[in-house]
Each structure stands twice: as C-alpha cells, then as structure tokens.
Amino acid sequence: MKWQLLKISYNKAIQCSLRVMPISKCCGSFNSMKSPKFSDIIVQAIVACYIFLFLTTAIDKLRHSSIFIYSVSQVPFLKSYAHFLSGFLPGIEIGIVILLIIPLTRKFGLILSTGLMAVFSVYLIVMLLTMENLPCSCGGIIQFLSWPLHLLVNGTLMLAGIYSLHLSKKIIAINRDSRIPV
C-alpha cells in the first residue's frame, strides 16, 4: 500500500515536471493553503487590543498597588473592597489575557473581556453621574484619558468585542467540520 502511494506521488511529480498535468492538479497541496480571511484578521486585531489593554493595566495596577488602593478607596461604595480589588482585578485581567492567547479558549476570553468592558463602562457611567472628584484607578495608558474619552474607549472596545464574537460565531459555523480551533 505504501509503495503504491509512493509510486502514484512519483508518477504525479514526473507528469508535473513534464507538464503533462496542469500545475493546479499536481501541486494542489501548495495551492490549498489559504490566506486568512478579513474577518479572521479583524477578530485577531480586537483580541490583540484586549491583550495589550488588559496586560498593561494589570501590570500597572500591580506595580503601583498603593496608588490603586488609594484611588479605589476614594469611591464610597468600593472603599471597603479596595485591598481585595488591588489583587483580584489585575488577576482577572491577566487570566483573561491567558484565555485570549490560547486558541482553544479564545472565544471564552472574548466573552469575558467584553463582559469586563461592559462592567467597567457601567462603573464609569455611575462615577460620572454621582461623583464630583473622579479618581482614576485604571492604570496603563487609559489613566491619562479624560473621563468622557475614557468612556468612549470603553464603549468602543465593548462594541468591538461584541462584533468579534459575532464574527467568530460565523467562523466557527464555517469551520465546524475541520475540527481546527478558531
């Protein structure tokens, strides 16, 4: 059986080199490699944004934990949870980053990141409506944004996450038979 397959492959190579067969038939395996679809690229870009955002903010919160605790303790309804949140929130962000990096858990990571952005957006809206002096405990690049711009970035990332979940649902439906994780 092995020799027959080898003989067929050898005959195919000979025919191809003599141009008896069209190139597309003899070199089909090379032509079958597809470039990524535009929707795949969009999902990967959104995942990369989430990874960068959550990783930089988590590292900043851990490096400057005393500043993070002080900022969170300025919020009346979070004051008693400041020390807990100083370890819990960066841990959640790093956990989500790990889920986003692993292809098998990427969709679950996208769900969690979109949900976390929704929670952060609701928190920002409550802060904007109830407080006069607004402490920022976000860390990373986000801490330098104004509050309205901060809310815009969070809302945009949340919508991008929802869109990427929509795109990844279509990708999974198309690739269901291939058994290749998306």
pLDDT one-digit tens code per residue, 20-52: 444 444 444 444 456 778 888 999 999 999 999
- CB-side neighbour CA atoms (13 Å) of 130: 11
What's the pTM value of the predicted model, to 2 decimals? 0.71
Query: Per-residue pLDDT for 78 more than 60?
Result: yes
- CB-side neighbour CA atoms (13 Å) of 35: 2
Distance of alpha carbon 176 from alpha carbon 42, whole angstroms: 20
pLDDT, tens only, 84-116 = 999 999 999 999 999 999 999 999 999 999 999
The pLDDT of residue 174 is 42
Distance of alpha carbon 120 from alpha carbon 140, whole angstroms: 15
- Structure confidence at residue 141 as a pLDDT band (50, 70, 90): confident
Distance of alpha carbon 153 from alpha carbon 136, whole angstroms: 14
Mean pLDDT, range 122-151, rounded to an integer: 81
What dihedral angle (degrees, nearest 10) is formed by the CA atoms of 29, 31, 32, 36?
Answer: 140
